[in-house]
Amino acid sequence: MLITERQRMVQDIESWAGQFGNDRSSLMPILQNVQKKYSRISEFSMQAIADRLEIHPVEVYGVVSFYSFLKDEVHGKFVIRLCQTITCDMAGKDRVAKQLENDLGVSFGETTTDGMFTLEYANCLGMCDQGPAMLVNDQVFTCVTPEKVHDIIQGCRQSLTAFAGLRKES
Ligand code: FES
């Protein structure tokens, strides 16, 4: 029997709650899993998580809207977050930002039409002594230059394996 995406999502949430625990302490790992599998955290999934963990939906909405890495709308396969805080700003963040926009053909806050990349700013990533710093999904890149931007994007496009190999700072 075929099941709908909503039914599958409820089954997944059940399974993750079984794995991480049936209380609010499992909220974050369940949200991360929903996002990883479904690319976004829909209203339906937030309600299903709240029901499963027996917490108020507002609590779930609050967590999703507080953390910039949790998304309630569709985003690219690769979410690039460039640090805009002062140390990275002084280390050349603007040149990196321009290169990202040029290479991807979108502005910050947008997703490429092929659904591959979303471009966003982030606040300090804790790598201030190696700025400019940026995240590509959960991978940190440091000492980013315009040239390195090109390599990182190419790596993402080619394969996840190539992408992993470019993590090391230049
Ligand atoms: S200021 Fe950019 S990582 Fe801290």
Q: Is 130 in the pocket of ligand 1 (CB under 6 A)?
A: no
Do 42 and 99 sit in the same domain of this protein? no
Do 62 and 83 sit in the same domain of this protein? no
Q: Domain for residue 71, yes or no? A: no
Q: Domain for residue 40, yes or no? A: yes
Q: Determine the atom of ligand 1 nearest the C-alpha atom of 93.
A: 2
Tell me phi and psi for residue 142, to 5 degrees. Answer: -120, 165
**Residue environment code for 33-65, b if the CB has 16+ CB neighbours within 10 A, otherwise e:** bbbeebeebbeebbebbbebbeeeeeebbebbe
Which tens digit of pLDDT belongs to each residue from 73-97? Answer: 777 888 898 999 999 999 999 999 9
Which tens digit of pLDDT belongs to each residue from 100-134? Answer: 999 999 999 888 988 889 998 988 888 999 999 99
The residue segments making up the domain with residue 117 are 78-165
Q: Is 124 in the pocket of ligand 1 (CB under 6 A)?
A: yes
Structural domain count of the chain: 2
Q: Domain for residue 46, yes or no? A: yes
CATH of the domain at 140: 3.40.30.10
β-sheet bridge partners, residue 134: 82, 141
Q: What does pTM read for this prediction?
A: 0.64
Q: Is 127 in the pocket of ligand 1 (CB under 6 A)?
A: yes
